[in-house]
Structure 1
Amino acid sequence: MNKEKLFVARWILLFLMMLPMTVTAKVRLPHIISDGMVLQQQTEVRLWGWNDPGKKIKVSVSWSQNPYIVQTGTDGKWMVRVKTPKGGDTPYRITFDDGEKTVVNQVLIGEVYVCGGQSNMEMTLKGYGDCPIEGYNEAVLASIHEQNIHYVKMPHRMSMHPLEDTPCEWKSISPETVTDCSAIGYFFASLLQRTLNVPVGLVEAYRGGSRVEGWLDRENLSKYTKEPLDSAKIVAAEFDPARRCMVWHNGVFAPILNYTVNGILFYQGCSNVGDPGNQYSERLELLVKQWRKQFGLGDIPFYNVQLAPYWCGNDMGTNFMHLREQQYIASKKIPNSVLICLDDLVYPYERRQLHPCQKRQIGERIAYHALNKQYGMKNILCESPTFKEMRISNDTCYLRLDNTYGAMNLMEDVCGFELAGEDKVFHPAKAEKIEWKDLGFVITCPEVKKPVALRYAFRNFYPGNLKNAAGLPLYPFRTDDWELK
């Protein structure tokens, strides 16, 4: 009996001695490097993972006969840069071999973008309760032909420290999967894929309700803000987890920072309404600098979406408009960035709707900018008109705009303009198109005999109706610097 026990004990000991070798010997990859992923075309993409310290790993890619050899560091981490070919329909495989092979299949090569922000970017094609997506059926049917669009969602994980990995899975677009894809991301990718004829990958890293501070890292929050950085203080400061600082950077964004991408789509701001002064524009600029530094890919394009008009408790108030103005200010300070104007993409019945239904147009407007600026299609008209200059003579304002492309959509029945005199009280104004150093408008208001300041669509919910030759709306603007109410 004792011999039997000794025999069993020896076998258990031998098993335990072998167990660590079985667990740690094989290459471990982050979840984002997995079957169905899309890699950025014609560049050097980063592949990375973990293994035993000092372990040599051979990385073989099916588009090339030349393998890559990499050795893990003392911390067990490794990273290799792999050259990618031109994108196309061909699925590839990547083999990681440390003596035992790990294979990633159905790898596509094309264009890769991050979708970030809060609930309007997170909003899937199936929408939210009482918030449908316009054109849902048409989009689902069209997705039959969009299998070369793949997306991967980062789960909503809060963390006090940057995570290196998070559970996620790449999915190919089909009528069964498209409904869970970001609607804006999908419509962007669809137009891009059809135009460039290459696969498109979307890395979805967002959190509904998040503030811009939720995406800043500890270093920037400590250096430039007074946000709490102790876990207990963070929870005490924000009962709503979505609004907490830093934790979304650590849990959602940090795991994707090694992935090679070609740009960022961003739609966020509602949760920062009420921020004082230029705080939001300064922190958004800081965030873009942070991301570009962390990705290490240079000044990759930043496509920011301006908030749509929203009543915010008072149609004629300006608290919501102040945040939209901050987004515009940031767009002028952030290099290689674009602000997508949505002033025309809210129906009158959606004045109290934070999630307007017209998402296709947003994704396509982002794609117009990408096609023009990143892919050289200069005949694509992508810019919204902007304020250029104003001249006042007696009771009349003369206005000029930039980015008209030689035409504006209305000669009369223009709405959205307001004039104010020295009393700083704004009144609705009449605008008529004139020929003044190309295209211009003359603005008058019977109640304002000596105008001092002009505003356009500068209320929470006071959309204008001016568009340029490309059908893109005029950005809201003001010529005064008076305090907002």
Structure 2
Amino acid sequence: MKRYLTVVSLLLLCGIQSIKANVVLPAIFGNGMVLQQKENVKVWGKAKLNANVLITTSWNNKTYTVKTNASGNWKTTIATPTAGGPYSITFNDGNKITLSDILIGEVWLCSGQSNMEMPIKGFGNQPILNSNDILLDAEEPGVRLFRIEKNMSRTPVADVTNKWEHANAVTVKEFSAIGYQFARMLQQKLKVPVGIIQSAYGGTDIEAWMTKNSLTGFTDFKTPADSAKVIKNDPAVLFNAMIIPIIGYNIKGVLWYQGENNRMNPLTYAQKMAAMVKEWRTQWATNQWPFYYVQIAPNVYNDHKEEIPLLYEAQAQAMTLIPNSGMVVSVDAGSQTTIHPPNKTIISKRLAYWALAKTYGKEGIAYMGPVYKSLKITDDKVILSFDQIPTGLTAFDQKLKSFEIAGEDKVFYPADAAISGKTVVVKSESVKKPVAVRYAFKDNAVGNLYNVEGLPSAPFRTDNWDNTKP
């Protein structure tokens, strides 16, 4: 009898606690957050069962009412004004909680593997260029940071444990060098608050960031047994743990830097990128927000060297498969000693060019470098033509490098290349009857062909031969 009364008492206590429970919000909704401006932004959480939750926004003193379901879950939208703040939002189901220091502005998500994860403080013996100078200017109230801790799961994870942080030398030091600098540049140029969400994990395959549904039809990846230990490159485990908890939070766009881990299966990479982006956009149930990404940089790879150029090619192809996307080229910003190039500022800036020109409509800003269009063979010379060169080509007073030329034997030789008007003329004494040209089409080849606007050409080839053998 005594035991029965104890159990009843515990159940009653739990019931009372449930009745008195405050509104519970996901971690992404918190003090100091940035909400996307001029939108009906989604808000959700838990509260008392079958109760009304009153949501009051300080920017217009409007109150929204939403009813919880039998499980206590609720979801609604609230209208945000033009950029500004700080504001507050009050949630009341009989017990009131208030979020304060809220800014309205632009929100971006940055994701991928280690080159996106790499913080301003750098990695061991691997610096970020000018990191201390970046930290000198880090204290900016108009930039807010939300860094998701690395995690993995075979099943969907409901929430994370992180919080929004102000930008200062201490918080910025730990944040993505690319993500933070992109946000800071937008904040300076748009003159509005910017929130940046980091969800990145070094050494990871694209398959781990995809859903099992979006991987349907692909066979070139390992599917572990359900009883196997979870590892970070299992399909969908990063999507489940590091993307699902923030799905629905209104964002302006996504930045992506990943690919090195897929150098062993590059031929399906473009299609996987397209499938991943399509699924993410579907899950967000919103318009096709922009997806801007970085082509991997040159490096001396120890394995799968021949596949690296094919990955370059796949990443370039992805732009034709993914609507509202753009690729940053880093062929001139790599490193011969580390897979983590120190100059993240130039990459952030090139991502910002895409965003400012294409997303925010800033006219006059170039965002793409020369794109190979066609070739013409004249005697022992190959003449290459390009798109995206309104004012022409340049190598900034340097000799063009990393061009190769081949004849019908498919053997490539180093070539002399020179700019002639809006074309590049390529030749070699070793090839009298040229057939094909390649530019920076090796794992460690550095390129220096730019348009006059200062943006580089991506690695390319004019042939479609098997890259792994003559």
Compute the TM-score of the two structures, normalised by the length of structure 1.
0.91
> Cα distance 1:78–1:326, how it changes in 2: closer, same or farther (>3 A)?
same
Partner of 1:344: 332
TM-aligned CA deviation for residue 19 of structure 1 = 3.9
Give 3-state SS (helix, strand or coil) of 1:443's partner.
Answer: strand
> Cα distance 1:461–1:11, how it changes in 2: closer, same or farther (>3 A)?
closer
Q: Which runs of 5+ in 1 are unaligned?
A: 1-5, 236-240
Partner of 1:417: 403
Please say if residues 38 and 110 of structure 1, whose CA atoms lie closer than 8 Å, have aligned partners that are also in contact. yes
1:264 corresponds to 2:254: yes
Please say if residues 48 and 80 of structure 1, whose CA atoms lie closer than 8 Å, have aligned partners that are also in contact. yes
Moved more, 182-191 or 397-406: 397-406
1:455 corresponds to 2:438: yes
Give 3-state SS (helix, strand or coil) of 1:362's partner.
Answer: helix
Which residues of 2 match residues 31-46 of structure 1 at below 5 A? Answer: 31-46=27-42
Please say if residues 46 and 73 of structure 2, whose CA atoms lie closer than 8 Å, have aligned partners that are also in contact. yes
TM-aligned CA deviation for residue 284 of structure 1 = 1.0
Q: Which runs of 5+ in 2 are unaligned?
A: none
Partner of 2:234: 244
Partner of 1:125: 120
Please say if residues 121 and 267 of structure 1, whose CA atoms lie closer than 8 Å, have aligned partners that are also in contact. yes
Partner of 1:311: 300
Q: CA RMSD in A?
A: 2.1
Aligned mates of 2:82, 2:300 — CA distance in 1 = 47
Give 3-state SS (helix, strand or coil) of 1:242's partner.
Answer: coil
Amino acid at match of 1:430: D
Partner of 1:479: 462
Give 3-state SS (helix, strand or coil) of 1:413's partner.
Answer: coil
Please say if residues 149 and 189 of structure 1, whose CA atoms lie closer than 8 Å, have aligned partners that are also in contact. yes
The match for 1:289 among 278, 283, 308 is 278
1:443 corresponds to 2:431: no
Moved more, 320-329 or 108-117: 320-329
Q: Give a deviation string over 1:398-442, Cα, whole Å, max 9, x none.
A: 11111123032237621111100011010111112223xxx1121
> Cα distance 1:229–1:52, how it changes in 2: closer, same or farther (>3 A)?
farther
Aligned mates of 1:227, 1:246 — CA distance in 2 = 12
Q: Give a deviation string over 1:345-404, Cα, whole Å, max 9, x none.
A: 12xxx3131101000111111011111111111111111111011111221111111112
The match for 1:321 among 302, 309, 321 is 309
Aligned mates of 2:403, 2:180 — CA distance in 1 = 35
Partner of 2:264: 274
TM-aligned CA deviation for residue 163 of structure 1 = 1.5
> Cα distance 1:258–1:21, how it changes in 2: closer, same or farther (>3 A)?
farther
Partner of 1:434: 420
Partner of 1:238: none
Partner of 2:344: 359
Aligned mates of 1:314, 1:429 — CA distance in 2 = 26
Aligned mates of 1:295, 1:234 — CA distance in 2 = 30
Please say if residues 271 and 321 of structure 2, whose CA atoms lie closer than 8 Å, have aligned partners that are also in contact. no
Amino acid at match of 2:336: R
TM-aligned CA deviation for residue 74 of structure 1 = 2.9
TM-aligned CA deviation for residue 339 of structure 1 = 0.7
Q: Give a deviation string over 1:211-245, Cα, whole Å, max 9, x none.
A: 0100111222355446426432575xxxxx23222
Partner of 1:3: none
Which residues of 2 match residues 106-185 of structure 1 at below 5 A? Answer: 106-144=101-139, 146-185=140-179
Q: Give a deviation string over 1:13-51, Cα, whole Å, max 9, x none.
A: 667624432245321110111111110001111110012
Aligned mates of 1:212, 1:413 — CA distance in 2 = 37
> Cα distance 1:13–1:157, how it changes in 2: closer, same or farther (>3 A)?
same
Partner of 2:209: 215
Partner of 2:384: 399
Give 3-state SS (helix, strand or coil) of 1:177's partner.
Answer: helix
Aligned mates of 2:276, 2:5 — CA distance in 1 = 58
Which residues of 2 match residues 42-57 of structure 1 at below 5 A? Answer: 42-57=38-53
> Cα distance 1:212–1:234, how it changes in 2: closer, same or farther (>3 A)?
farther
> Cα distance 1:484–1:27, how it changes in 2: closer, same or farther (>3 A)?
same
Compute the TM-score of the two structures, normalised by the length of structure 2.
0.94
Aligned mates of 2:467, 2:218 — CA distance in 1 = 25
TM-aligned CA deviation for residue 473 of structure 1 = 0.9
The match for 1:70 among 46, 49, 66 is 66
Aligned mates of 2:33, 2:164 — CA distance in 1 = 6
Aligned mates of 1:273, 1:59 — CA distance in 2 = 48
> Cα distance 1:417–1:72, how it changes in 2: closer, same or farther (>3 A)?
same
Aligned mates of 2:448, 2:11 — CA distance in 1 = 73
Moved more, 217-226 or 153-162: 217-226
Partner of 2:57: 61
Give 3-state SS (helix, strand or coil) of 1:107's partner.
Answer: strand
Aligned mates of 2:124, 2:55 — CA distance in 1 = 46
Aligned mates of 1:424, 1:338 — CA distance in 2 = 32
Amino acid at match of 1:21: I
Please say if residues 212 and 235 of structure 2, whose CA atoms lie closer than 8 Å, have aligned partners that are also in contact. no
Identical positions, percent: 37
Give 3-state SS (helix, strand or coil) of 1:281's partner.
Answer: helix
1:206 corresponds to 2:200: yes
Partner of 2:223: 228
